[in-house]
A and B are shown apart, each in its own frame.
Chain A
Amino acid sequence: MKHKPYTLPTQLLSVLLLLALLPAGFVTAASRGIKLEPVEKPPTPAFIDGRYRALVVGNNEYRDPEKRWPSLETAVAGARAVADMLKNRYGFDDVTLLENATRREMLIALDELGRDVLPNDNVLVYYAGHGFLDNDTGKGYWVPVDAVGTDTTTFLRNSSIRDELNTIAARGRHTLLIADSCFSGSLLRSGTRALPPQTDNERYYQKVAQKKSVQIMTAGGIEYVDDNYRSTGHSPFTHFLLNELEYSDRPLLTVSELSQSVEKAVANNVSQVPESGVLQGAGDELGEFIFVNIDVSVSGAPAERVKVNVNVVPAEAPTSLPGTTESTIPAPSESTAPATTPDLLPMPTL
């Protein structure tokens, strides 16, 4: 058998591959580098002196004998990805990951976290799993994997979660709860705080870092939220949360800045609207939980030295510092993070 050359198809393929590569070229061309100084020491700014701790919970495999709670597809994967992101990108050194947790395991983990927290610590709690809202009483719950039907005594009540957060907040400096579940907005009882200033002014971060904060980000209000977003393997909320955390080129990122971006991205793409705010009565002083990006890539520098010393990058810094190398990460206004992700599956044909 012999093969004949395919002149027209080959040309078409060449054109297609060229077209496919063009967007990448545009991105590269449009990327505006920021100048960062590689340093050897850990990048934690002087004004952030506590440890970063996290409890990350993802519940997929529900074993409800009454079949009221079907298994989820993405909660565990979301929790794993968030835990990895916190450890590798944001320098969390104490991360507990709970997969398919029972009510008891969740309560024990929250209790232990509350006991471990030291003054000035930054504590993040992330929950992905089913949520429940009792329409009669207006009470909201997290649903552990051992929940039984609509028996709310087998759930984790919002008031219990608030109690645990109060304990954590009383001991630490900054506390952040991120809830990716249905009706997670029932944890919020106040409006969002003012929008963050459009500046990278270090004085702003210094100010909010020193004030106590107890903040909440939720996947939605009093509503159902999606499990899988366009076959990304994550819920829309967690997908865009991870997206923002991954693509942010800010050395410092406050929760207000993060939630603003995530809320916009989610609301623009799916019919759910994330919410954020503060946990009332827990001592919030309008401070901010601050994510410190320790993994900004700096091309040309040895990997072990690629850390960002945020203290040497003032807000009005010149665009080029002596002896520095250029980051490959674009500035926020030109972020390469896509707003949405097409599934890109091959077209099914018969």
Chain B
Amino acid sequence: MKNRILFRYFLPLTLLFASPPIWAQTETHYSLGAKLDFSTWEGDNPGGESFKAKAPMLGLEAKIQHGSWFGGLTLAGGEFEFDTLAPTRPTNPFPSGSEPVTIKRSEVDLVLGYRFWPRIALFLDLKNVSNEWDTDRYKTEYNGLGLGISGHHPLTPEWTLFGNFGVVPMNIKADGQDVGDATRSALNIGFLYRISQRMNFSIGLQSQTQTDDYDNGLEQTHRIGALTLGINAAI
């Protein structure tokens, strides 16, 4: 119980107010962003068959910055149509992985980060990934809290190199039941172009690798790669 209080309330509040001079002297900035990921979702089913589909994922983000702190919410979604082989389900295996299926995929990230060095930040990502089969609305959900590190390096006054890496352990639910655990590692790298002082354009590559370990002993892997185009504007 003590630990729970410590981790839930005391540590976050301590971190939040640990730098009062910065808090007191800096302004708060708000920004909105949109991104389009040209994604490829592929992987291997427990039986060894591979699946693969491509689809655009549209994302929106709202971000707040205050001094060295930043945080916000991102939402992304897309529909992947698997023509032949699809990811098999951990429970209720119909339709089987060999039938054409469309999976609606959505990702929600609640992020809190702290820039502890001018160009380096650590961030926490409370993540939710949801996959819904269009055939019978069967749904798998992944929830977890990940830790990542992000950085950037200005190349010219207009161009900046940026990237982030992190790992998120997640719990898997299928139709509301706990069915296993997953571990995802993610790497993003890209270039940001400053259109104006209040608007940036970015282009980048995204790579996510995820391993699902089901309670029934089976294992499934997912690899998601994407070319990402984005725009962010201060409001």
Please list the residues of chain A having a beta carbon within 8 angstroms of any beta carbon in chain B.
1-4, 6, 9-10, 12-13, 16-17, 19-20, 23-24, 73, 77, 81, 226-228, 231-233, 268-271, 338-350
Asked whether B162 lies within 8 Å of A6 as measured between CB atoms, the reply is: no
> Among the listed A2, A19, A20, A231, which residue makes an inter-chain contact with B119, where contact means beta carbons less than 8 Å apart?
A231
Q: Does B125 contact A (CB under 8 A)?
A: yes
The interface bits of chain B over 89-123 (1 if a CB of A lies within 8 angstroms of the residue's CB, else 0) are 00000000000001000010101010000110101
Give CA–CA (A22, B14) in the complex, Å.
Answer: 38
Query: How many inter-chain contacts with C-beta < 8 Å in the A-B complex?
Result: 156
Q: Is the interface of A mostly helix, strand, loop or mixed?
A: loop
A-contacting 9-mer, from B43-51, B53-61, B173-181:
B53-61
Q: Which residue of A lies closest to B192 (CB)?
A: A345
Asked whether A228 lies within 8 Å of B118 as measured between CB atoms, the reply is: yes
Asked whether B160 lies within 8 Å of A231 as measured between CB atoms, the reply is: yes
Which residues of the other chain, B, contact A16 by a CB distance below 8 angstroms?
A: 32-34, 60
Asked whether B55 lies within 8 Å of A3 as measured between CB atoms, the reply is: yes
Give CA–CA (A338, B83) in the complex, Å.
Answer: 51
Asked whether B234 lies within 8 Å of A23 as measured between CB atoms, the reply is: yes
Q: Which residue of A lies closest to B80 (CB)?
A: A1
Asked whether A344 lies within 8 Å of B200 as measured between CB atoms, the reply is: yes
Q: Does B21 contact A (CB under 8 A)?
A: yes
Q: Which residue of B lies closest to A337 (CB)?
A: B197
A179 to chain B, nearest CB (A): 21
> Among the listed B107, B109, B168, B190, which residue makes an inter-chain contact with A347, where contact means beta carbons less than 8 Å apart?
B109
Which residues of the other chain, A, contact B219 by a CB distance below 8 angstroms?
A: none
A338-B164 contact given A6-B58, A347-B109, A349-B125, CB 8 Å threshold: no
Give CA–CA (A9, B32) in the complex, Å.
Answer: 15
Give CA–CA (A17, B123) in the complex, Å.
Answer: 27
> Among the listed A12, A226, A348, which residue makes an inter-chain contact with B123, where contact means beta carbons less than 8 Å apart?
A348
Asked whether B109 lies within 8 Å of A344 as measured between CB atoms, the reply is: no
A346-B190 contact given A4-B79, A20-B199, A341-B197, CB 8 Å threshold: yes
> Among the listed A13, A341, A342, which residue makes an inter-chain contact with B34, where contact means beta carbons less than 8 Å apart?
A13
10 A-B pairs within 8 Å (CB atoms) are namely A9-B60, A16-B33, A20-B32, A20-B235, A24-B198, A271-B21, A340-B27, A343-B65, A349-B164, A349-B186
Asked whether B230 lies within 8 Å of A346 as measured between CB atoms, the reply is: yes
Give CA–CA (A6, B106) in the complex, Å.
Answer: 13
Q: Does B225 contact A (CB under 8 A)?
A: no
Which residues of the other chain, A, contact B156 by a CB distance below 8 angstroms?
A: 233
Asked whether B186 lies within 8 Å of A270 as measured between CB atoms, the reply is: no
Give CA–CA (A231, B65) in the complex, Å.
Answer: 13
- Assuming A344-B198, A346-B192, A350-B125, what are 16 further A-B pairs, CB within 8 angstroms? A3-B55, A3-B56, A12-B60, A16-B32, A233-B157, A271-B25, A343-B65, A344-B31, A344-B233, A345-B160, A345-B192, A346-B61, A346-B230, A349-B188, A350-B168, A350-B186
Give CA–CA (A343, B186) in the complex, Å.
Answer: 22
Which residues of the other chain, A, contact B198 by a CB distance below 8 angstroms?
A: 23-24, 338, 342, 344
Q: Is the interface of B mostly helix, strand, loop or mixed?
A: strand
Report the count of interface residues on B (CB-CB < 8 A).
73
Which residues of the other chain, A, contact B171 by a CB distance below 8 angstroms?
A: none
Which residues of the other chain, A, contact B72 by a CB distance below 8 angstroms?
A: 347
| In the A-B complex, the 3 residue pairs with the closest CB atoms | A342-B29, A20-B233, A348-B164
A88 to chain B, nearest CB (A): 14
Q: Which residue of A lies closest to B228 (CB)?
A: A346
A15 to chain B, nearest CB (A): 9
A214 to chain B, nearest CB (A): 32
Give CA–CA (A342, B62) in the complex, Å.
Answer: 13
Name the residue in A13, A231, A341 with the highest tally of chain B Cβ atoms < 10 Å from its Cβ.
A231
Give CA–CA (A148, B173) in the complex, Å.
Answer: 61
A71 to chain B, nearest CB (A): 13
Q: Which residue of A lies closest to B27 (CB)?
A: A340
B215 to chain A, nearest CB (A): 24
Give CA–CA (A231, B194) in the complex, Å.
Answer: 11
Which residues of the other chain, B, contact A19 by a CB distance below 8 angstroms?
A: 32, 233, 235
